Structure 1
Amino acid sequence: MPHFKQPLYPVYNWIPLHGIMRYEVELMADPPAQPNGTQPDPGRAWSKIVNAATTCYDEYPRPYAGDYYWRVRAIDAEGNAIGTWSDAAHFVVNKHPKRVKVAVLGDSITHGGGSISYPPSALEYSYTTYFDFPCLNLGRSGDTSRMTCDRFEQDVLPFHPQNLLILTGSNGLRTSTISAQDIIDDLAAIEEKCRAHDIRPIFMTLIPINPTNIRFAFHAETDPNWNEKLRLINMWIRSHDCCIDLEPYFYNETGTDLDESFSVDGLHPDIQGKMLMGEIVNASEAHALLK
Structure 2
Amino acid sequence: MSVTYAAGSTRMEAVARRVCLELLEPVHLVAYMSDEPTEELQALGYESYRPGYFAARSAPLGKVPAEVVDALFYNFAPGEVARCIPSVWDVATPGAVLAARQAGSVKALRRILGDLADSPALACAADLAIRVATNAPMEGRILYAALRSLPVPDEPVARLWHAATLLREHRGDGHLTALVAAGIDGQEAHVLQALHSGMKPSDYGRLDPLTPDQLAAVVDGLRTRGLVDASGELTPAGRETKTRIESTTDALAAPAYTTVTPDELDQLTAALQPIAARIKSAGYRS
The question of a shared fold, defined as TM-score above 0.5 by the shorter chain, is answered with: no
Q: Which has the higher strand share?
A: 1
Q: Which has the higher helix share?
A: 2
Q: Which has the higher contact order (CA 8 A, sep 6+)?
A: 2
Pairwise TM-score range, normalised by the shorter structure: under 0.3
